[in-house]
Amino acid sequence: MEADAALRNAGWVVAQRGIQIALGAMFAVLVPRLMGPQIFGQYALLTSVSFWFALLSGLGAVSMMTRWVPAFVVRGDVTGLQKLVSGLLTLRFATGFVAGACYLVLTTIWLPGIDVVSLSFIAGAVFTRTASNVCFALFLGLNQAGRWGLGELLRRLLTLVFVLLGFSYAGLRGACAGWFAANTCVLFIGMWMGRDHIRWSAMWPDRRFMAPFLRTGVYFAGGNILLTI
């Protein structure tokens, strides 16, 4: 049964990757031509730098979920799983807020020629992206890779739509607002899809309970950062 589910999910992931490639091609054809080289260069710089801040605040969510969630499922420990997911989501909100604030401060100093409102929208996207990754990483631990891949697929689709609409309405500021809106929508969709594993009474992290999971996450996050570098 587990093998059948894994095979079925692998098929979904392959299909999603194909759609993502198509969306990426559409983005490459439409967005740079619409924005022009100067504004698109600014937009690409702002969003690419934001990935680093999201990565630094990520705490190795995918590796942590694939390592620990199956153990909770095998034990039938629903309460423990909810406690882990809820506590980790709260921590990701906190680290995402710090990362977004750092992004805004540093880019305001580094890129004084870019509108601070545009920078604020990208900083907000760092916050929402950081938290949304937890919700979809959970599905990978639950052997639901199809749902896990849906997060990135939705992000690319919504980014294409909202960035085009936003730029048409308000230039670079509108494009950055579209990036923020896309990541915010993905966050809410992820929380809704994972609602059975989020318990609001457990949102305040238990330090003793979370400590071993966070140590694992920090190790994996450090490895991911080194590989990315």
pLDDT tens-place string over residues 54-75: 877 666 667 777 777 888 888 8
Rounded to two decimals, what is the model's pTM?
0.86
Q: What pLDDT was estimated at residue 156?
A: 92
State the pLDDT at residue 104.
95
Task: Say if CB 194 and CB 138 are below 8 A apart.
Answer: yes
Q: Residue 14, class by beta-carbon neighbours within 10 Å (0-12 exposed, 13-18 middle, 19+ buried)? A: exposed
Distance CA 142, CA 146 (A): 11
> Contact at 8 Å (CB) between 69 and 81?
yes
How many Cβ atoms sit within 10 Å of the Cβ of residue 115? Answer: 14
- Joined together, the tokens standing for residue 3 give 């093998």
Inter-residue contact 178 to 166 (CB < 8 Å)? yes
Q: Which residue has the higher pLDDT, 203 or 129?
A: 129
Q: How confident is the model at residue 142 (pLDDT cuts 50, 70, 90)?
A: confident
The domain total for the chain is 1
Nearest to 164 by CA among 33, 7, 17, 4: 33
Is the pLDDT reported for residue 5 higher than 70?
no
The predicted-structure confidence for 82-106, as pLDDT tens digits, reads as follows 888 888 888 888 888 998 999 999 9
What is the CB neighbour count within 10 angstroms for residue 18? Answer: 10
Q: Where are the alpha helices (DSSP H) in the chain?
A: 2-35, 37-56, 61-75, 78-110, 116-141, 145-193, 207-228
Report the pLDDT averaged over residues 194-206. Answer: 80
In 3D space, the residue among 90, 101, 94, 123 whose CA is nearest the CA of residue 202 turns out to be 90
Contact partners, residue 121, CB within 8 Å, separation at least 6: 173, 176, 177, 179, 180
Which domain does 163 fall in, by range? 2-228
Q: Which of 1-10, 54-63, 110-119, 172-181 has the lowest mean pLDDT?
A: 1-10
